[in-house]
Amino acid sequence: MMISTSIWSFILVISSVLALSTAVSTINANQSIKDGETIVSSDGTYELGFFSPGNSKNRYLGMWYQVSPSTVVWVANRETPINTTSGVLQLTTSGILNLFRNTGDLIPIWSSYISLPVQNPVAELRRNGNFVIREENDDNPDKFFWQSFDHPTDTLLSGMKLGKNFVTGQEWNLSCWKNSDDPARGEYTYSLDPTGYPHNTIRKGGNLIFQTGAWNGLRFSGRPQYSGNTMYTHKVVINKEEVYYMFEMINSSLSRLMINQSGKGQRWTWLQQAQIWNSVYEVPKDQCDSYNICGTYGECNIDNNPRCACLEKFVPSSIDAYTNGDWSSGCTRKKPLNCQKGDGFRKYPQIKVPDTISTRIDENMNLKECKKVCLNNCSCTAYATLNISHGETGCLQWFGDLKDMREVSKGGRDLYIRVALSDSDRSKNLAALIISLSASAGVCLLGLTLAFCIWKIKKNLTLKVSEETLKSNLKEHKNMSQKEDLDLPYFCLSTLVDATNNFAKVNKIGQGGFGPVFKGILEDGQEVAVKCLSETSKQGTNEFMNEVKFIAKLQHRNLVRLLGYCTDGENKMLIYEYMPNKSLDWYLFDEFRNKLLDWPQRFHIIDGIARGLLYLHQDSRLKIIHRDMKASNILLDNNMNSKISDFGTARSFIENESPANTNQIVGTFGYMPPEYALEGLFSVKSDVFSFGVLALEIVCGTRNRGYIHGDRIQYLPEHAWRLHKEGRSLELVHQNIRRKSRYRHEMIRTIHIALLCVQQCREERPNMSTVVLMLGSKGDLPMPSQPGFYSERSTVGSEASDITILQGR
């Protein structure tokens, strides 16, 4: 505290200076110590005086252990160094400690402060390292006027409080040094957070980076390994006036808790024999200690890779983000809660319990009562035993989302989290009950009388579950597994979680424009592909329901079959039949795999796509324009049959067959006809155009975009048309298959048909029924006119342009 110079000059009268021939532990009123002089606690442990930290020349008034090297534990003027050795500390007759620089003028540097009047003040450096101002003849700590323990620097000593006094507003917390040359306040603080149930925290700036986990009467639950020490006891005191953490030495060993300049909370003890400080523990100790690293309802396990996983019965809020290592969005319940109908609790054993910032405690409840109270308050999300110091007592309830949990092998606490009834332990118990009931029933069959049987079963009923609850449980299970809004099976998220092994990375088989695709195996052994629509994708709920609606009604051997869908909060998923041979682009645009496709297979694929499209355009009840035909949307089954997939952008055109206009362009550059890309006009002929491009790509084995001919980049249709006009269209065919002369005619004919499909003029393009006819016959074909293409030079060669775009116009 700074006091103006005018007050100082009037306060300051140096009458006598301590005679320091022998070490003293006190300063009396009107006495002072100068730089170079010190006072020492009566047992010789602590010394107080002026020092310069590290390489600094600045002088600070501080206190240190009298060990070598001396270890500073407290600094008075940490923010206001003295740049000369002219520092003087004086105790005034009114009981105030004043530190000033005496360079002719008296410049105030630092001052203690007391509010009560004092008779005969004395400043004493006590054996526990507390520098106090007290009445000369009163040794009672409760009556100290001022004490350094109330003004911690970066170190907590035995008997110091860390916490808050609600009456006076006094806070005790530690803040690190700026660096080893400068004891001024650094970035990190170590403090007890009195909000909710107390826990110790480390903050950087204001941001929480670590918390110890809730106090359980013996220790903080996130730090099991420090339980068995015999050197000190520690406690958390909670009452109306104050809440604080404190440790106290059992014998005269030295131990201190500090926050170092890199934000580590460290406990050091002095090894008398070795004469060194031993680091007993340090927090945060690993990445799992980083505050809330796994997001809400996530759990960190340092031995796992990846470290984060959702708690059992919870799933990622965003599967896409979570599998990519972005855990911040956390997890949500697999099954939604239904507080009105009744939820349950599931036990999560031995974990560092979540952040207790919004909790309520009741020391008098037992665990059973705790559960009941929590169950009856819909906003109570979890509960646990409060205090394990003398058996398990008390109730700790959480409100709001649960954060910052980690697995701890021992010394953690059992946490009971609110979950849907069917996910709860009660339903587990129910299952056990049913088993034991049927076991008993089995005994009954062995010729015992019915009455005896019933008596026996009744006797064995340890769980009192009425038949009614049992029935409603079963009903709820049923309700979960079928939603009948659509003509399509609804899969619950939990089924898909199990099928894909919690969307494990190894099961990821693709990344579509709208999100990842996972392989899964259902309980009955069926292989499925689960397409997750990522939150960040542009395919919104509309496109999703669109796809579900369309494809649910479509059935054709050249269309991929949708088996079901799932919506759960933000998560939207489609379940398809699994295609072992992946998608066409996987073969086509890979130098090696391209060779695997011979001509008959290619032709078969082209023919299949044509038939699938024909079905979409004409034969299905809905008459659908796909709008995003491209190689990555053609999947291949065991026998290399092509199957059109991805109906997120499809449109039905039942009402009117003339081209429709859209103000939102969807599709993929390179496959879009000019009238669509430029004017937004789409019709069945847009798909015909895309089909033509696709057929050329299959023949040629090259992407349309970035097709390099000679030294200039050309689009495939343009190039094919030139060659065709010159009678050299066979040169277009991939060299691996060109040599098979007996297919040459079919190759040339296919290119010809493809060129008819990509003609500039929409009306000139054949419809799909004509295309299928032409592919299957040998009759004459009309001459193609100039293909339509448009310049999208910026996307040439860019991989990103294979992604379906949604572009407002």
Ligand X SMILES: *[C@@H]1O[C@H](CO)[C@@H](O)[C@H](O)[C@H]1NC(C)=O
Site for ligand X, rule CB under 6 A? 13, 15, 29-30, 83-84, 93, 171, 173, 189, 191, 203, 215, 217, 230-231, 236, 238, 251-253, 260-262, 264, 282, 360, 363, 377, 379, 387, 389-390, 399, 436, 440, 456, 460, 472, 475-476, 479, 580-581, 596, 618, 638, 640, 767, 769-770
Please return the burial class of 151, using the count of CB atoms within 10 Å of its CB with bins 0-12, 13-18 and 19+: middle
Q: How far apart are CA 514 and CA 538, in angstroms?
A: 7
Per the DSSP assignment, residues forming a β-bridge with 97 are 91
Q: How far apart are CA 32 and CA 42, in angstroms?
A: 18
- The least CB distance from residue 253 to ligand X, in Å, is 4
User: In the block, which residue shows the tokens 């006495």?
Assistant: 31
Alpha helix positions (H), 314-416: 319-323, 367-376
Q: How far apart are CA 220 and CA 198, in angstroms?
A: 10
Strands (E), 629-718: 634-636, 642-644, 651-652, 660-661, 664-667, 681-682, 707-709, 712-714
DSSP per residue over 474-524, as a string? Answer: HHHHHHHH---SSSSPBPPHHHHHHHTTTT-GGGEEEEETTEEEEEEE-TT
CA angle 462, 464, 467 (to 5 degrees): 130
DSSP per residue over 431-465, as a string? Answer: HHHHHHHHHHHHHHHTT--HHHHHHHHHHH--S--
Q: Which is nearer to ligand X, 321 or 772 (CB)?
A: 772
3-state SS class at 748:
helix
The residue among 808, 809, 806 whose CA lies nearest residue 536 is 806
**Do the beta carbons of residue 154 and residue 256 sit within 8 Å?**
no
Phi–psi pair at 456, nearest 5 degrees: -65, -45
- The least CB distance from residue 616 to ligand X, in Å, is 12
Q: Which is nearer to ligand X, 38 or 266 (CB)?
A: 266
Q: Which is nearer to ligand X, 234 or 538 (CB)?
A: 234
- The least CB distance from residue 297 to ligand X, in Å, is 19
Q: How far apart are CA 398 and CA 556, in angstroms?
A: 53
The residue among 42, 276, 254 whose CA lies nearest residue 156 is 254
The residue among 307, 305, 292 whose CA lies nearest residue 352 is 292
- The least CB distance from residue 478 to ligand X, in Å, is 7
Read off the amino acid at residue 430: L
Q: Which is nearer to ligand X, 440 or 786 (CB)?
A: 440
Q: What token pair was written down for 689?
A: 């155009």
Q: Which is nearer to ligand X, 308 or 509 (CB)?
A: 509
Active site (catalytic) residues: 628
3-class SS letters over 85-110: CCEEEEECCCCCEEEEEEECEEEEEE
With residue 803 as reference, give the H or E element that holds it: none
- The least CB distance from residue 719 to ligand X, in Å, is 27
- The least CB distance from residue 286 to ligand X, in Å, is 12
- The least CB distance from residue 586 to ligand X, in Å, is 9
Q: Which is nearer to ligand X, 456 or 722 (CB)?
A: 456
Q: What token pair was written down for 169?
A: 């507003």
Q: Which is nearer to ligand X, 600 or 797 (CB)?
A: 600
- The least CB distance from residue 17 to ligand X, in Å, is 13
**Do the beta carbons of residue 715 and residue 704 sit within 8 Å?**
yes
Q: Which is nearer to ligand X, 603 or 789 (CB)?
A: 603
- The least CB distance from residue 753 to ligand X, in Å, is 14
Per the DSSP assignment, residues forming a β-bridge with 659 are none
Q: Which is nearer to ligand X, 15 or 664 (CB)?
A: 15
Q: Which residues contact 452 (CB under 8 A, 6 or more apart)?
A: none
C-alpha 680 chain-centroid distance: 40
- The least CB distance from residue 264 to ligand X, in Å, is 4
Q: Which is nearer to ligand X, 438 or 735 (CB)?
A: 438
- The least CB distance from residue 357 to ligand X, in Å, is 13
The residue among 266, 318, 325, 320 whose CA lies nearest residue 293 is 325
Helices 684-700 and 716-725 meet at what angle, rounded to 10?
A: 70
C-alpha distances in Å from residue 167, one per residue of 189, 239, 243, 396:
23, 11, 11, 25
Q: Which is nearer to ligand X, 13 or 708 (CB)?
A: 13
Q: Which is nearer to ligand X, 206 or 727 (CB)?
A: 206
C-alpha distances in Å from residue 461, one per residue of 170, 437, 465, 752, 760:
57, 8, 9, 79, 79
Give 754's DSSP letter.
Answer: H
- The least CB distance from residue 499 to ligand X, in Å, is 19
